[in-house]
Structure 1
């Protein structure tokens, strides 16, 4: 698939709106992609082997004009090998998501835009072509990534202002903005973004819970507050300063063999049922300070481990294909599987809502997720 094929697919899907089509054609993705890339798949569940443009130019170009994300850096630049690193830390986002978020942003001529997370420079390059370089500011924490983005943009004849800095703080030198867009996810919307956006302006950002699940929040700013619904599922790299600190498994059983001091029970709720992206999101909204991991076995069974961030509580839930009940072990002051069940049943009892029924409100006191209306906050499990 070349640029015209990708454009046709994006237009057909509704992601690429007619007002963005001239910019798509004028600012080709290939000018913003380095020689070495790791093609992914749209849902982020798998990473393919590295493709080197100097060795496989056709494969590289095919990847660039496929509707997939492309990892361009691992481990904050500390991984330099051909294989996969531990954590992807910079990328060229999936084109469908890029243009869907730009549609959410709803820019107009003359708007000033702040982007959080420059990456390869393609997204802010698209904005600069549409609005003019003088109306676009982009912040990138990694100086090497920012340098590469600026080189890409200059080669494309584009000149947004690229700042090396902490994206949480925004950039007061260019404020106020009509629009702020983040190309990294957050677990908490920095209030500086709200303060630097004009009343009536928009903030578009991926937002996710510690437990899991993520969606695009589209927030309208009104003075010192911002509120709005989630528009679609997403899976972005986390803002570096908000990366979660998840203690290792060994911090929980305190050197004892499983089940240690855990209490046994059974459940009819399959661990599979709580593993979907929207299910994780709904559970995470209700279960603060909790996360999970999976331990898989050769026979197709697995254990879902749930942990509290304070290392005081844990739960294990064993999955067997075809089983009607599943063994649970829980330890600590929080009964984490009981909380998971309660959160799942709340979601199920409200009609299994998708991301677009949830919303987020942000003010000086923090932020609150809600269902259908700000008057209906999502409750914490107890």
Structure 2
């Protein structure tokens, strides 16, 4: 590394630190996180090649030939993830954006000496930050990809950290080392594996990305038979790569055009609602995601207003086409009445006071998982399919 590269990295690190500070991104109750990030900057855990989306395809950004561009991928924004691996042309691993890594570490309420299980080692940066706080030999990380695990372990050793890295299925946890005081996942799951709850001590904390956006912090009940907690924020994560029950059972959900092509419109009508509300992920869009977890919603804005397209990825669809002067024309097809389901969800959300992201939470027990709003015991709830 040349002197110019070193100075450039220092400048990039300082820039991101200042941006985080200016927007209040460093948690006051956990000053150790800022210290850990300063001691273990993310460039120490980044591969020599990163990937940048140019609007059409993923382009390599190599440290050797474009050091400034490589550093910009890592430090350009608190909200930007750095893609570190492609598989069949799609991202399968990344250094998560610094703002979310910091927020999740804060949510973990980690204390020195606590035993930590991390699911999804990736490049090893998150494990390094946790080890900086928990201490030598207190962090175990499980990684599905043997190559990533080996590279992460090498980086952790290079900075002098004693972290155990195991190759395995993160959804299964690591029962051999249980129980743990803290469990944190770096990839998204729709259903929080019961194994994570079983391997956490009563009163312990589980922080994990959930679904296609957001992360949740759960506390294990005193009897160890459930875990419950509130949503903590929004942010997209790589999905689980663990082979679950659906592995090998066929293709994933189809897109709107494909489902629409299979089934012609069976119902039509109109609505006076302003579909712009569906673009707000902190409010209505999140409520729809909770109540209709298998439905994908796409929106677009033109001169007439906001239009929306819904599909369950299998056999049903609905379209809301903005009309001049407000509202939308509605068409839907398939066995489900997705437009009606959306209207019902919207009305229920309004009836309970239009709760936002932080008003929702999740409870997991041996029988399943459900999302609730406003109160875990008395609020409305939606089971996870």
Contact 2:119–2:170 (CA under 8 A) maintained in structure 1: yes
Distance 1:29-1:254 versus aligned 2 partners, 3 A rule: closer
Distance 1:39-1:104 versus aligned 2 partners, 3 A rule: farther
Counterpart residue number, 2:268:
264
Q: Which of 118, 121, 125 is equivalent to 1:118?
A: 121
Counterpart residue number, 1:71:
83
1:83-112 CA-partner distances (Å, limit 9, x unpaired) = xx3x32110011111111111111111100
Counterpart residue number, 2:214:
215
2: CA distance between counterparts of 1:122 and 1:200?
26
Matched residue SS, 1:150: helix
Q: Which of 331, 334, 344 is equivalent to 1:332?
A: 334
Contact 1:368–1:377 (CA under 8 A) maintained in structure 2: no
Distance 1:298-1:345 versus aligned 2 partners, 3 A rule: closer
Residue ranges of structure 2 left out of the alignment (5+ in a row): 1-10
Q: Which of 226, 237, 259 is equivalent to 1:252?
A: 259
1: CA distance between counterparts of 2:235 and 2:202?
26
Distance 1:46-1:283 versus aligned 2 partners, 3 A rule: farther
Instruction: State the 1:255 CA deviation.
Output: 4.6
Distance 1:112-1:36 versus aligned 2 partners, 3 A rule: same
Instruction: State the 1:250 CA deviation.
Output: 6.0
2: CA distance between counterparts of 1:40 and 1:128?
32
Does residue 360 (structure 1) correspond to residue 362 (structure 2)? The answer is: yes
Distance 1:112-1:282 versus aligned 2 partners, 3 A rule: same
1:101-152 CA-partner distances (Å, limit 9, x unpaired) = 1111111111000111111110001112222241101111112222221122
TM-score by length of 2: 0.84
2: CA distance between counterparts of 1:125 and 1:196?
21
Instruction: State the 1:247 CA deviation.
Output: 2.4
1: CA distance between counterparts of 2:375 and 2:139?
33
Counterpart residue number, 2:321:
318
1: CA distance between counterparts of 2:322 and 2:49?
39
1: CA distance between counterparts of 2:56 and 2:12?
23
Does residue 29 (structure 1) correspond to residue 42 (structure 2)? The answer is: yes
Q: Would you identify which runs of 4 or more consecutive aligned residues in structure 1 move more than 6 Å?
A: 45-48, 296-302
Contact 2:295–2:312 (CA under 8 A) maintained in structure 1: yes
Distance 1:110-1:288 versus aligned 2 partners, 3 A rule: same
Does residue 204 (structure 1) correspond to residue 211 (structure 2)? The answer is: no
Counterpart residue number, 2:140:
137
1: CA distance between counterparts of 2:262 and 2:53?
38
1:282-318 CA-partner distances (Å, limit 9, x unpaired) = 1122124322346x79989886332234x33221222
Contact 2:26–2:34 (CA under 8 A) maintained in structure 1: no
1:209-248 CA-partner distances (Å, limit 9, x unpaired) = xxx6x22211000112000111111211111246993124
Distance 1:5-1:48 versus aligned 2 partners, 3 A rule: farther
Contact 2:277–2:285 (CA under 8 A) maintained in structure 1: no
Contact 1:15–1:103 (CA under 8 A) maintained in structure 2: no
Q: Which of 5, 29, 53 is equivalent to 2:63?
A: 53
- Superposed, 1:1-382 pairs within 5 Å as 1-12=11-22, 13-16=24-27, 17-38=30-51, 49-66=59-76, 67=78, 68-74=80-86, 77-78=87-88, 85=89, 87-208=90-211, 214-222=213-221, 223-241=224-242, 245-249=252-256, 252-253=259-260, 255=262, 260-278=264-282, 279-293=284-298, 304-309=308-313, 311-319=314-322, 322-374=324-376, 375-378=378-381
2: CA distance between counterparts of 1:298 and 1:250?
19
Contact 2:305–2:326 (CA under 8 A) maintained in structure 1: no
Contact 1:40–1:70 (CA under 8 A) maintained in structure 2: no
Matched residue SS, 1:2: helix
1:6-37 CA-partner distances (Å, limit 9, x unpaired) = 23333442435422233222212111011221
Distance 1:39-1:300 versus aligned 2 partners, 3 A rule: farther
2: CA distance between counterparts of 1:379 and 1:203?
21
1: CA distance between counterparts of 2:358 and 2:301?
36
Matched residue SS, 1:343: helix
Distance 1:71-1:122 versus aligned 2 partners, 3 A rule: same
TM-score by length of 1: 0.85
